Amino acid sequence: MANETVRRKRILSGIQPTGTFTLGNYIGAVRNWAKLQDEFDCLYMVADLHALTVRQVPADLRKNTREAAAMLLAAGIDPKQSILFVQSHVPAHTQLGWIATCNSQFGELSRMTQFKDKSAKHPDNVNGGLFTYPSLMAADILVYNADLVPVGQDQTQHLELARTIAQRFNSSYSPTFTMPEGYITKAGAKVMSLAEPTRKMSKSDPNVNSFILMTDDKDAILRKFKRAVTDCDGIVRYDVAEKPGVSNLMTIYSVFTGKDYDAITAEFEGKGYGDFKIAVGEAVADGLAPIQGEYKRILADKAYVDAVLAEGAQGASRIADRMVQKVYKKVGLLQL
C-alpha cells in the first residue's frame, strides 16, 4: 500500500515553435517524450515566449505554434496522460520569470554560450530578452517543481542556472523549489548535419540537404540521404572522431531499426555507402510515414488541437499558480 502514495517524478520539457521539427528534434527529444509518459508525470510546452527573442512574423508564429502542438500529438504525446500546453497561455511563467531574473547575476547570464551564439547570428537584434531568457527558462522549470528536465548537451548550462537560482532562493527565503536534475536519454541524443556531420542538424542551415524535416516526403528524404557526406573509407563502422558522417547515419539507422552498431556494420559488410544511405533513407521514411499521416489528420481538426491546448493550460496553471502565490508571499509582495 505504501508504494501507491509515492509521487511519480515530474518532468518538464519544451520546444520552440520556429517551424517544422527536424529529424534531430524528433530523435533527440520528441521521440523520447512519448516514452516518458508511462513512468513520469509529464508537462510538455510549446515555448512560444522563448521564440520572441528572435523577430517573428506574427501570423507564422501562431501557425507554427498550432502545428508544433499537432506534431507533438502525432508523435505520441497523449493529453490524457500528459499536460500539453502553450507557454504564453500560462501567465505564471512570466510572473515567476521576473523573480528568477532578480535572482540571477549579470555575470551568470553573460556567460551563457547560447547568448553569445545568437548575438553573433542576429547582431542587429541583441535584445534584453535574449540576455535574460535563461531566467525565464529557469522559471519554466521551477514553477512546476520539476524533478527532471530532458536536456541535450547544449542545454546543460541553462539547467545549471535553474539549479543556482533555486539554491539561491531556497537559501535566501526558505526551502521552496525542488532542485531539478538533468535527464539525458541514451541513444541518438544528438543528430548531426547530413552535409557537415561535425555540426548539429539545424533547419536554420542554408543548405536544405543538411537536415530532414518531419514533413519531408519519401522522395525528399531519400534524396537528402543519398547526398549525405561520408568519407573515402568505404566501410560502415562507428567511429565519431574518424568517421563522423558514417557514425551519424548509423545513429539514425539504429534509432529506426533497433539494431546496434555491430549489427549494422555486419549488415553492410562488403557493400558500398550507396546501399547504406538508401537503407537509412528507407528506414527513416517508413518510420516517419505513420507520424506524418497522424499529423495531417490532427492538424485538420483545429478545434481539437485548440481544445487540448486550452485544457492543458488549465492543468498547468493549477500547478503553477500555487507556486507563484507561495513565492510572491515569501519575497514580500502584498497579497490581497
Q: Which of these is catalytic: 9, 63, 80, 118?
A: 118
Residue 287 vs residue 124, higher pLDDT: 287
Q: Which of these is catalytic: 35, 80, 186, 200?
A: 200
The percentage of residues in the chain with a pLDDT greater than 70, rounded to a whole number, is 96
pLDDT tens digits along 42-59? 999 999 999 999 899 999
Mean pLDDT confidence for 163-190: 88
Q: Which of these is catalytic: 9, 190, 203, 330?
A: 203
- Please tell me the distance from the alpha carbon of residue 166 to that of residue 176, in angstroms, as a whole number: 8
What percent of the residues of the chain are helix, what percent strand, and what percent coil, each to the nearest 5?
60, 10, 35
The whole-model pTM stands at 0.92
Give catalytic status of residue 277 as yes or no. Answer: no
Mean pLDDT confidence for 69-74: 97
Give catalytic status of residue 329 as yes or no. Answer: no
- Please tell me the distance from the alpha carbon of residue 282 to that of residue 256, in angstroms, as a whole number: 10
pLDDT at residue 61, as a whole number: 97
Contacting residues for 142 by C-beta, under 8 A, at least 6 apart: 96, 100, 162, 165, 166, 177, 178, 180, 323
pLDDT at residue 114, as a whole number: 79
Give catalytic status of residue 118 as yes or no. Answer: yes
2: pLDDT strictly greater than 50:
no
67: pLDDT strictly greater than 50:
yes
pLDDT at residue 109, as a whole number: 93
Q: Which domains does the chain have, with CATH numbers?
A: 2-189+301-331 (3.40.50.620), 208-296 (1.10.240.10)
Mean pLDDT confidence for 20-41: 92
204: pLDDT strictly greater than 90:
no
